[in-house]
Amino acid sequence: MFLVINDRNPRKFVDTPYVNWGIIFVCVMVAIWQLGLSTGEENHIIRTYGLVPKDLVGLEVSAILALVSSQFLHDGFMHLAFNMWFLHTFGDNIEDSMGHAKYLAFYLIGGILAAIAHFLSVSQSGIPLIGASGAISAVVGAYFVLHPRARIRVLIVIIPIYLSARILIGGWFALQLFSAFGDSSSSGGVAFWAHVGGFIAGMALVKFFARPEIKLWPSKEEDEDLRSWLEYKGLKKKKPEIIRAQGPWRKEPDAVVIEEGQSPWIIPKPDPRERNRPRSMLPENPRK
Share of the chain above pLDDT 70, in %: 75
Catalogue all structural domains in the chain, each as residue range(s) with its CATH number. Answer: 2-232 (1.20.1540.10), 241-281 (no CATH)
User: Cα separation of 117 and 111, whole Å?
Assistant: 10
Tens-digit pLDDT profile for residues 122-174: 988 899 999 999 999 999 999 999 999 899 999 988 888 999 999 999 999 99
Residues forming a β-bridge with 154 = 4, 161
Contact (CB, 8 A) for 196 and 177? yes
DSSP per-residue letters across 69-96:
HGGG--SSHHHHHHHHHHHHHHHHHHHH
Q: What is the mean pLDDT of the chain?
A: 83
Q: Does 55 score more than 70 pLDDT?
A: yes
Residue 253 pLDDT class (50, 70, 90 cuts)? very low
